[in-house]
Amino acid sequence: MPPPISRIEDTGIPALWLQDLILKIMYFQGYMSGFKIAEEIALPFTGVVDILMETLKRDKLVEVRSSQVGLGEGAYLFAITGTGINRAREALDRCQYAGPAPVQLQYYVEACRKQTRRRIQVTSAMLQEGFSSLVLSERIISQLGPAINSNTSIFLYGPPGNGKTSIAKLIGEMLFNQSIYIPFSIYVDGQVIKLYDAVNHRLASREEVTPAGTGTLRAGMRRDPRWVYIQRPFIMTGGELTLDGLDLVFDDTLKFYEAPFQVKANGGILLIDDFGRQQVKPRDLLNRWIVPLENRIDYLNLHTGRKLEVPFDVLVIFSTNLPPRELVDEAFLRRLRHKIEVRNPSYDEYREIFKRVAATKNVKYTDPGLAYLLQEWYIKRKRLPRASHPRDLCDQIIDYARFTNQEPSLTKELIDPAAESYFVEV
């Protein structure tokens, strides 16, 4: 848990920079109480914000408009002055970030080291329980265990529709019962890197984030409020991934950075779905990650020319339905530690999947009905079963049953139209 802050020096951020942050927030929001300002910049009022406000008042950048007797200086209502507005505009020209105060890069690196995912080890029993919702062969489970414990990279390949993405998501869920602290943003040489992402990061249950974006602690908890408590990240990216997206993304309008996917995923999992279909070539992507995958360190670039060294504590999962040899050569495949083929289910596995899906969707299952489906729509047509077919076919059967006012069931009258509208002969 990040230690509490009692002085401005504890923040590691220059006092002038924090004053500008307050002025920018007041420029946007108008009249604010001392307590509200402290909440917005995620710093304690006593010992930090009160001293910053005293300096701003002395320099005639803010003024007290009203006060409530007996509630202390934190209840004073402050307003930004004309001089303060001018300084706020100058600060906004440099950077428009106006949120929780950032954390020094060195503190973030240290936090990654202390909360590393490499301490997590899974066992066979954990995997059996974690993957109980899927029908997987013992071969796959016996390969997944060492791959997860390696904490490096996993290459899932095989035909589409057999659960590669579902496997990756379940690996992520196995980590969701563990949580870590990350800062809202990071400070480097006057630059801000926004790290916390409300879309990709899931808050841990014992803390919540207020609408203003600051951490609200349960009673009795004391820590640095610039950090947010999240479940270990599971971040998925697909065809939208580009090489530029793997470096710091500088917004020319807002004048601050957005952390790339792999930094947001630190301490968790990064899933590259549909690998090979990205806008970036697979070879270029793996070239970019040769050093991070082997040394567990990544290098990012500021537009000022400075290169940052950040942890690469990420389990990278590549998922593809393209033949591996079409994506990369043997030398690159060697750098991907664990390569696991997710094959088509056997007929027994297909039957078990269909029974589970039918029970979930309230479709009446019968062995003769499934035998008819397999014989007429798979064996005769030389079609291979896929793990996703039972789910999709049950949905088709339900649609036709509703239209014909029948009970959804595995009958010839419902199987044939459902299969005919689902399968495409190529």
For residues 282 and 328, give the distance between their C-alpha atoms in angstroms, rounded to a whole number. Answer: 7
Domain end call among 101, 118, 135? 101
Q: Give residue 364's domain range.
A: 347-422
Domain end call among 341, 372, 402? 341
For 157-193, write each residue's pLDDT tens digit: 999 999 999 999 998 887 667 889 999 999 999 999 9
pLDDT band at 85 (very low <50, low <70, confident <90, very high): very high
In this structure, the answer to whether residues 270 and 382 fall within a common structural domain is: no
Measured CA to CA in angstroms, residue 102 lies from 113, 114, 220, 260, 311 at distances of 19, 19, 24, 17, 18
- What's the burial of 180, exposed, middle or buried (CB within 10 Å: 0-12/13-18/19+)? buried
- Evaluate whether residue 413 is within a structural domain: yes
Q: Which residues of 349-376 are buried (b: 16+ CB within 10 A; e: fewer)?
A: bbbebbebbbeeeebebeeebbebbbee
In this structure, the answer to whether residues 240 and 289 fall within a common structural domain is: yes
Q: What is the mean pLDDT of residues 309-321?
A: 92
**How many domains are contained in the chain?**
3
In this structure, the answer to whether residues 32 and 154 fall within a common structural domain is: no
**Averaged pLDDT score across all residues of the chain:** 89
The answer to whether 294 and 312 are in contact (CB under 8 A) is no
**Phi, psi at 296, each rounded to 5°:** 60, 30
- Strand, coil or helix: what is 242? coil
Tokens 């299969």, residue located: 419
* Cα torsion 281, 284, 288, 293: sign: positive
In this structure, the answer to whether residues 306 and 330 fall within a common structural domain is: yes
**Phi, psi at 78, each rounded to 5°:** -100, 150
For 356-414, write each residue's pLDDT tens digit: 999 999 999 999 999 999 999 999 999 999 999 999 999 999 999 999 999 999 999 99
pLDDT at 214 over 60: no
Q: Are strands 257-258 and 249-250 parallel, antiparallel or unpaired?
A: antiparallel
79, containing H or E segment: strand 77-80
In this structure, the answer to whether residues 148 and 279 fall within a common structural domain is: yes
In this structure, the answer to whether residues 239 and 333 fall within a common structural domain is: yes
- Evaluate whether residue 220 is within a structural domain: no
For residues 19 and 11, give the distance between their C-alpha atoms in angstroms, rounded to a whole number. Answer: 13
Q: Are strands 32-33 and 77-80 parallel, antiparallel or unpaired?
A: antiparallel
In this structure, the answer to whether residues 140 and 52 fall within a common structural domain is: no
- Alpha helices (runs of H) in 296-382, residue ranges in sequence order: 324-327, 330-335, 347-361, 367-374
For 255-313, write each residue's pLDDT tens digit: 999 999 999 999 999 999 988 887 788 888 888 888 888 889 999 999 888 999 999 99
- Strand, coil or helix: what is 258? strand
Q: Calculate what percentage of the chain has a pLDDT beyond 90.
A: 69
Tell me which DSSP letter residue 293 carries: H
Residue 216: predicted pLDDT: 42
- Evaluate whether residue 386 is within a structural domain: yes
CATH number of the domain bearing residue 139: 3.40.50.300
Residue 26: predicted pLDDT: 96
Which range has the worst mean pLDDT, 206-215, 224-233, 263-272?
206-215
CATH number of the domain bearing residue 92: 1.10.10.10
For 126-135, write each residue's pLDDT tens digit: 888 889 999 9
Residue 369: predicted pLDDT: 96
pLDDT band at 426 (very low <50, low <70, confident <90, very high): low
